Amino acid sequence: MIAPSTHSPDSAWSDCYKAALFQDDTTQLPPLITRAESEINARARLLFETPGDNVREIRALDNALHMLKMLRSCAKIPPA
């Protein structure tokens, strides 16, 4: 399992996402994907409540979730 990020909250999801995306051991993928999805969803909720122009990061979050879904499918990992 990946340790909590020491970076800012907006990079925590990215760190978890990259860890899952670049993991080459499929036995390690399920918890990494689940953690990344959780971090992405938490960041999306935070951005929803934060005023300002967050369109770019929201789009990045959507893209990351889509890629994780495809990774689950390719690795034949059932949804969490």
The range of the structural domain enclosing residue 47 comes to 9-74
Query: What stretches of the chain adopt beta strand conformation (E)?
Result: none
- Find how far residue 69's CA is from the centre of its chain: 10
Number of domains the chain is built from: 1
Q: Could you report the per-residue pLDDT of 43-75, keeping only the tens digit for each?
A: 999 999 989 889 999 999 999 999 999 999 999
Do the domain assignments include residue 79?
A: no
Q: What is the pLDDT of residue 4?
A: 45
pTM confidence score: 0.84
Indicate if the pLDDT at residue 3 is higher than 50. no
Do the domain assignments include residue 30?
A: yes
Do the domain assignments include residue 34?
A: yes
Residue carrying the six token digits 């390690």:
28
Do the domain assignments include residue 3?
A: no
Do the domain assignments include residue 80?
A: no
Q: What is the pLDDT of residue 15?
A: 96
Share of the chain above pLDDT 90, in %: 75
